[in-house]
Structure 1
Amino acid sequence: MEIRQIQYFLMLCNELHFSEAAYKLGISQPTLSQQIKVMEDELGVPLFDRIGKKTVKTEAGKLLEHHAAQIIQQLENAKTAIADLTNLDNGHLRIAVLPSDLDYRLTSLLIDFHHDFPNTKVQVIPSIDILNQVLDNEVDMGVGLAIQPDPRLSQIPFYTENYSLYVNKAHVFAMRDRVSPEDIAKIPLVLYPKGFYGRDLIDDWCRKHQITIHTIMETGSAASLFRLVTEGVGATIQPSQLLESLETQDILSIPIQFAPIRELEIYYRHDKYVSRAAKAFMTKLELFFKS
C-alpha cells in the first residue's frame, strides 16, 4: 500500500463522494475508484459501501481510517523533525486563537518571534472552533479558554485574568472605584456577538449573578468595540490587562465586583511533533502574558 493511496483513501473518507474527492485530489474519478479498488483487493475487504448515490465507510474502512490518519501524521512529524534537524527554520506554524482580544494583543509577540525565526511562516487564525481545528490537524496549536482534560491533547495552562468594565472618561461610572453586576445591568454595552468565547463567558457570568445586560451594538473586533466606547456608544467588558495594549488615554478600566474570570491554555495534539519554532512560540507566549 502506497502513501499516495492512503492519501486518496483519507480524502474519500472525508468527502464520502467520489467526484468531490477526486476533484480535491486533482485526479479523475476513474483513477480514484481504481486506486480504492486496488486497496480493497490488497486487504481482501470492502472499504466503502455504495448505497445508491451515497458512499459510506464499512467497519473495515473506519478501522483503516484511524490507522491511516496516524500514518500520515507520523509522516508529517518526520518531515518536520528533519526540517528542525537541518536548522533552516523555514517551516509553517499555524495557531488558532480566540478572536478579538487575543489576536489583537499578540502583535508585539509576533514581531519578537519573527526576529528569532525569520524564515518561519506564521498564521494566526482567529477562531471560535479552536478545539476541532486542533483535533482535525487544521492548525498546529490552539490558544484559548481552558477546556476539560482530553487524552488526545497536550494542554498547558499559562494565564488567568479578571475582566473589567471599560468606559470613556465622560461616562457616568468614570469616577467609580468599582462597579457591581447590578450596576452593569443598568447601562448600554457594546460586546462581541453570541458565539464568541468572550461573550459566552460574560453571558454565563450574568446568569450566575441573575442579571440581564443590554447590548446596544455588537461587533467581533476589539478595535471596533473600543472605538465605540471612546465615542460614548456604550461601555464594554473585557480582560483587565487589555488596557495595556490600547494606545488611548480616553478609556478607563474599572474593576468589577465578583468579576468574570478566564483561564487560558495552549493545547495541541499529543501525537504531533512539536517543532523548535512551535516550542519557542509557546515559551514566548507564556513569558509575554506573565510580564
Structure 2
Amino acid sequence: MQIEELRWFSVLCETRHVGRAAEELGLSQPGLSRALARLEQELGAPLFDRRGRVLELNRYGAAFLTHVRRVLGEVEAGRRAVADLASPESGTVAMGFLHTVGTWLVPRLLISFRSQYPGVRFQLIQGGSAAITAALEAGDVDLVITSPKPPGAAGPAAKLAWRPLRRERLYLTVPVGHRFAERRRVRLAEAAAETFVANKPGTGLRESSEELWREAGISPKVAFEGDDVATLRGMVAVGLGVAVLPRARTYDGGVDQSGDPWLRYIPLAGTGGSRVLGLVWREDRWASPAVTAFRESVLALGRA
C-alpha cells in the first residue's frame, strides 16, 4: 500500500467517479481502476458500491477513509515541518557548546546572525566536550563549539570537520588572599604542592589542564571534580583548591565584560597557557540552508 494509492482513494471518495478522478489525478481510467482493485484486494473488502459509473462509499470504505485522511494529514504536516526546518529564513539550527562559552561567545554569535536571519530558531545544549561531540556524531545537533579538536576530526578519512575560531587563554585561578594572588605571572610548577579542583575526566577543559600539568611536570592532588566551570570557580573562591580555568566572561551590549571579586586569574609563565576553541560539524551529513548560513557566519566572525 503506497501513499499515492491513499491519495487516489481520497480523490475517488470526493469525485465518486473513476473517470473524473483519473482526469484530476492525471492517470488513465484503467490504471486507476486496477489500483483500486489492488487496494480492495489487500484490504480484503470492497470499498465502494458500484451504481453504474457512480461509486458509493460503503461502510468498509467509510471506515478506511477516516484513517486515510489522518495518514495524509500527518504526511502533509511532516512535509511542512521538513520544509520549515530546511528554510534559510525560518529553519532550525541545533548546536552544542561548552559551558564556558555560553556566557560570552555564543551570545555574540547569535546576536550577529539573528540580525540577518531573525526567523531562524535555535536548539541549544550545553555540555562537556565528549558529550556534545557524541551528540554531533549521533546526529542530535548540527554543530558544536568545543575544545580541544575532537579525535574524529583528525586524519584524511575524518568524518568531522574542524575549524579553529579563537584561542582562549587559561589562568591559574586562586582565591583572594592566596599566596599567588598578587603575582603578575606564575609558573605552574610552582603550584605543584597546591590542591586543585578540576572538571571531570572526559571534558575538554580537563584535557587541557592535564596537558599543562604534564608540561609542568606535576601531578597535583585533585580535591573536587565538577561538571561545570561555575561550580569550580565557587570551589576556588571558598578555598577548596586552585584551578586552571579561563577567565569568567559575559557578553553585554556588544562589550566583553570580565571580572570576579572573589578570584584572581594569574597568567601562566613558561607555557602556552591557552586552548583553541573550534567549530565542528559532520562532513557526511546534509546541512540545511539555515545551518549552512549560520556556520558561515560563525566562521566569518572567527576569522575576524
TM superposition score category, shorter chain reference: 0.5 to 0.7
Is the 1:94–1:125 Cα contact (8 Å) retained in structure 2?
Answer: no
| Residues 43-88 of structure 1: CA deviation (Å, up to 9, x unaligned) | xxxxxxxxxxxxxxxxxxxxxxxxxxxxxxxxx9x94698426x3x
Provide the rounded CA distance (Å) in 1 between the counterparts of 2:223 and 2:288.
45
Question: Which of 80, 84, 87 is the aligned partner of 2:87?
Answer: 84
How far apart are 1:173 and its partner, in Å? 0.5
How far apart are 1:101 and its partner, in Å? 1.3
How far apart are 1:240 and its partner, in Å? 4.9
Structure-2 residue corresponding to 1:183: 190
Is the 1:178–1:256 Cα contact (8 Å) retained in structure 2?
Answer: yes
Structure-1 residue corresponding to 2:180: 173
Letter of the 1:266 partner, please give it.
L
| Residues 162-182 of structure 1: CA deviation (Å, up to 9, x unaligned) | 311122321110111111122
Structure-1 residue corresponding to 2:93: 93
Structure-1 residue corresponding to 2:220: 213
Matches within 5 A, 1:1-291: 79=82, 83-84=86-87, 87=89, 89=90, 91-98=91-98, 100-106=99-105, 108-109=107-108, 112=111, 113=113, 116-127=117-128, 128-144=130-146, 145-147=148-150, 148-149=154-155, 150-240=157-247, 242=249, 246=258, 248-257=260-269, 258-286=271-299
Aligned length in residues: 215
Letter of the 2:135 partner, please give it.
Q
Letter of the 1:269 partner, please give it.
R
What SS does structure 2 have at the residue aligned with 1:96?
Answer: strand
Provide the rounded CA distance (Å) in 1 between the counterparts of 2:200 and 2:163.
28
Q: CA RMSD in A?
A: 3.5
| Residues 117-167 of structure 1: CA deviation (Å, up to 9, x unaligned) | 345132224242333332321211122122324532332221223311122
Provide the rounded CA distance (Å) in 2 between the counterparts of 1:204 and 1:97.
21
Is the 1:84–1:276 Cα contact (8 Å) retained in structure 2?
Answer: yes
Q: Which runs of 5+ in 2 are unaligned?
A: 4-78, 251-255
1:153 to 1:193, Cα distance in 2 relative to 1, 3 A: closer
Provide the rounded CA distance (Å) in 2 between the counterparts of 1:155 and 1:81.
28
How far apart are 1:246 and its partner, in Å? 4.5
Structure-1 residue corresponding to 2:65: none
Letter of the 1:93 partner, please give it.
V
How far apart are 1:229 and its partner, in Å? 2.4
**Higher-Rg member (1/2):** 2
Q: Which runs of 5+ in 1 are unaligned?
A: 4-75
Is the 1:131–1:142 Cα contact (8 Å) retained in structure 2?
Answer: yes
Provide the rounded CA distance (Å) in 1 between the counterparts of 2:142 and 2:258.
29
Provide the rounded CA distance (Å) in 2 between the counterparts of 1:138 and 1:186.
43
Letter of the 2:282 partner, please give it.
R
How far apart are 1:256 and its partner, in Å? 0.7
1:267 to 1:122, Cα distance in 2 relative to 1, 3 A: same
Structure-2 residue corresponding to 1:24: none
